[in-house]
């Protein structure tokens, strides 16, 4: 049972069926109540018509023991003391009117009361009786429900009570009834139709909802199956099918493919990173090992300076790889407030041929990481400059801009984005003695982006490369 209703299709079908069922019950109840009310109203209108016809006849001729009304309609005429003055023929039993009597009773003096009897039925009692002239019929009608037996047949009736003023007899009340069998029959028929039709309609709704949701969710099942196959095969080059529906499912498939593409790119980048890191580490480690082995066998041949140089390069490469790993892991930079101009002057201190023009511009972030960016830019400019490197720090609106320019050959426009890729060295800087491992600019851009800024390269006024670091100013 849990598995059956654990699917979206089952829950959608059950939900739609329940909603329709509640709506049908509410609508059916309203229809039955409205039908019953209308039919009872029609019966009341018919009973009132009969009562007023009898009242008009009484107003003209006075009451008789037997009334000229249809045998199928129960009619009573009673006085103010609840004495039955006249009744319709074949009336055998009645209740729901002013009196249960079906045969005229001995009359008492008008305005008097029957000996030892008080009426407990307030059907025609008026807290403020309407003043009527002799021969006048009241405009007010009172309705009650009851039963009557005529010629051996008992039925439910809607009774109407109408007052009439008769000369010498006082105020009389005419009760006339109309059968409610039509109302009961119609309500029963409508209820039978609903009891039969509603389950059939609910079955149709459930079936249609099941088929529609099955068709709508078929692409989702295709996406799920393909994702399961991709997980099992670990082939990130595969993509899920995109249905030609232009709806939420199609957008889900497109987003899933975009996620797979990004994941594939990330994994491929990670593989290249591991391969390049292994290659870059292999050379200094092998060189250092060779020098140490030679030194161990022949101490007089040990190249101590070369060993130190390889050790320093290995240490720097390890530090770069560690920083990149932290950046890739999403490490959040500190939010320390510091002066970018002062930091630039600090990083440029002691470097030959470097000129610094720096304003005091406050920024927030990791002072160490931003200092690493400036160091990498200065190292890169120093390797390519002919004679001079210029550092400028200024504020531009909401941005703090640090520009590092050299008078070297510059960077070709086609390579201005490629140089920020990891382990990329241009042809003129591929020597490990002259250039680094190709991680400095990649680290610089990653740090800039994680601080909410940018790092771009263009052409300097002196013809060399111009690197611009933009960071948001601290408020």
SS3 content of the chain, % helix, strand, coil (to 5): 50, 20, 30
d(C-alpha 442, C-alpha 461), whole Å: 24
Percent of the chain at pLDDT exceeding 90: 29
State the pLDDT at residue 246: 80
For the domain covering 248-328, report its CATH number. 1.10.287.130
Please state, in angstroms and as integers, the Cα–Cα distance from residue 191 to each residue in 21, 23, 29, 45, 446, following that order. Answer: 15, 16, 9, 24, 74
- Alpha-carbon span 60 to 54, nearest angstrom: 10
Beta bridge partners of 394: 401
| pLDDT at residue number 2 | 47
Give yes or no for residue 430 having a pLDDT over 60.
no
Name, in order, each residue with C-beta under 8 angstroms of 270's C-beta and a sequence gap of 6 or more: none
Q: How do beta strands 153-166 and 137-150 pair?
A: antiparallel
Strand partners, 174: 77, 162
Q: What is the pLDDT of residues 22-61, one digit of tens each?
A: 999 999 899 889 988 888 899 999 999 988 988 888 888 7
pLDDT for residue 245: 79
Query: In angstroms, rounded to a whole number, what is the distance separating the alpha carbons of residues 419 and 348?
Result: 23
State yes or no: pLDDT of 122 exceeds 50: no
Which is it for the CA torsion 244, 248, 251, 253, positive or negative?
negative
The string of pLDDT tens digits covering residues 203-249 is 999 899 888 888 877 888 888 888 888 888 888 888 888 888 788 88
Looking at the predicted structure, is the pLDDT value of residue 365 above 50? yes
Q: What does the pLDDT read at residue 331?
A: 72
Going by pLDDT thresholds of 50, 70 and 90, the confidence category of residue 470 is very high
CATH 3.30.565.10 fits 336-472, yes or no: yes
Secondary structure element (H or E) that encloses residue 395, with its range: strand 389-396
For tokens 């739609």, the residue is 16
Residues 300, 301, 306, 308: is their CA dihedral positive or negative?
Answer: negative
Tokens for 425, please give them.
Answer: 């060295």
Query: What six digits make up the tokens of 280?
Result: 């870059």
Average pLDDT over residues 159-188: 88
- CA–CA separation, 76 and 69 (whole Å): 11
Q: Is 253 left (phi over 0), alpha (psi -120 to 50) or beta?
A: alpha
| 298-309 mean pLDDT | 77
Domain boundaries, given as residue ranges, for the chain:
1-107+131-232, 248-328, 336-472
């Amino acid at each position: 049972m849990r598995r059956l209703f654990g699917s979206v299709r089952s829950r959608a079908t059950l939900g739609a069926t329940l909603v329709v069922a509640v709506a049908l019950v509410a609508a059916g109840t309203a229809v039955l109540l409205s039908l019953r009310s209308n039919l009872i109203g029609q019966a009341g209108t018919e009973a009132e018509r009969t009562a007023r016809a009898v009242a008009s006849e009484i107003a003209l001729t006075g009451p008789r023991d037997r009334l000229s009304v249809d045998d199928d309609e129960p009619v009573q005429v009673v006085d103010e003391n609840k004495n039955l003055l006249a009744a319709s023929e074949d009336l055998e039993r009645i209740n729901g009117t002013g009196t249960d009597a079906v045969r005229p009773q001995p009359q008492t003096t008008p305005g008097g009361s029957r000996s030892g009897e008080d009426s407990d039925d307030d059907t025609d009692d008026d807290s403020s009786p309407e003043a009527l002239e002799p021969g006048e019929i009241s405009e007010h009608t009172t309705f009650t429900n009851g039963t009557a037996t005529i010629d051996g047949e008992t039925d439910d009736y809607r009774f109407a009570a109408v007052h009439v003023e008769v000369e010498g007899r006082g105020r009389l009340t005419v009760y006339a009834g109309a059968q409610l069998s039509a109302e009961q029959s119609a309500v029963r028929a409508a209820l039978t139709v609903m009891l039969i039709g509603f389950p059939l309609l609910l079955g149709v709704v459930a079936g249609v909802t099941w088929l529609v949701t099955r068709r709508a969710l078929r692409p989702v099942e295709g996406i799920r199956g393909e994702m399961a196959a991709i997980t099992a095969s670990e082939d990130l080059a595969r993509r899920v099918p995109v249905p030609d529906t232009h709806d939420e499912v199609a957008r889900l498939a497109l987003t899933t493919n975009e996620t797979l593409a990004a994941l594939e790119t990330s994994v491929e980048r990670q593989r290249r990173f591991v391969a390049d890191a292994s290659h870059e580490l292999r050379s200094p480690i092998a060189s250092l090992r060779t020098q140490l082995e030679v030194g161990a066998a022949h101490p007089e041949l040990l190249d101590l300076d070369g060993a130190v140089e390889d050790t320093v390069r290995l240490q720097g490469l390890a530090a770069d790889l560690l920083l990149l790993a932290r950046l890739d892991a999403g490490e959040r930079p500190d939010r320390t407030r510091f002066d970018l101009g002062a930091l630039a002057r600090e990083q440029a201190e002691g470097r030959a041929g470097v000129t610094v023009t720096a304003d005091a511009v406050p920024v927030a972030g990791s002072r160490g990481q931003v200092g690493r960016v400036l160091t990498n830019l200065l190292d890169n400019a120093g390797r390519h400059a002919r004679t001079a490197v210029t550092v400028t720090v200024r504020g531009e609106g909401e941005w703090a801009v640090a520009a590092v320019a050299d008078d070297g050959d510059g960077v070709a426009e086609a390579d201005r984005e490629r140089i920020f890729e990891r382990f990329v060295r241009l042809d003129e800087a591929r020597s490990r003695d002259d250039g680094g491992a190709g991680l400095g600019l990649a680290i610089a851009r990653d740090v800039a982006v994680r601080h909410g800024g940018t790092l771009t390269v263009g052409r300097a006024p002196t013809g060399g490369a111009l690197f611009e670091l933009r960071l948001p100013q601290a408020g």
